[in-house]
Homo-oligomer: A and B are copies of this chain.
């Protein structure tokens, strides 16, 4: 994918940026992309399940605003609009307006968005795959807490 030079400049960038530091711009970027709506928008545009056989294995595809709104159940219009605008500004998605009546607005992953999608899709998959284990851990923790220090 990346040429040696691109890879070198990314390694160099990682030496200059450090998200552990509050004042580093990468802290703010980490904060932006550590967001469930970002993960879900990228997953939807990246073609993630739960279609039959859908896994992380779907094909990326452009989606209309209304399709995204349906896919991400419970998202408010304000939140979806804000999330999409931030993703567009960061260069992770492109927004295309087609002058139909009414206009059609579609969103699509850029190459940069696709690279982040591949990571965040794994985080979403992790949450789904380890849900039972986490629920069992929570039940055990709560039982210990209720039982006091000796149980």
Contacts and interface: CB of A to CB of B under 8 A. Distances in A.
B22 A74 contact: yes
A82 interface: no
Interface residues of A, number: 64
B91 A26 contact: no
B34 A128 contact: no
Nearest to A134: B90
A71 B22 CA distance: 10
Interface of A: 9-11, 13-15, 17-23, 25-27, 29-31, 33-36, 38-40, 43-44, 49-50, 55, 71-74, 88-91, 112, 115-116, 119-120, 122-138, 140-142
Given A29-B134, A116-B126, 15 more contacts: A10-B129, A10-B130, A13-B128, A13-B132, A14-B125, A17-B127, A18-B49, A20-B40, A26-B127, A27-B36, A34-B34, A34-B38, A91-B134, A91-B136, A115-B126
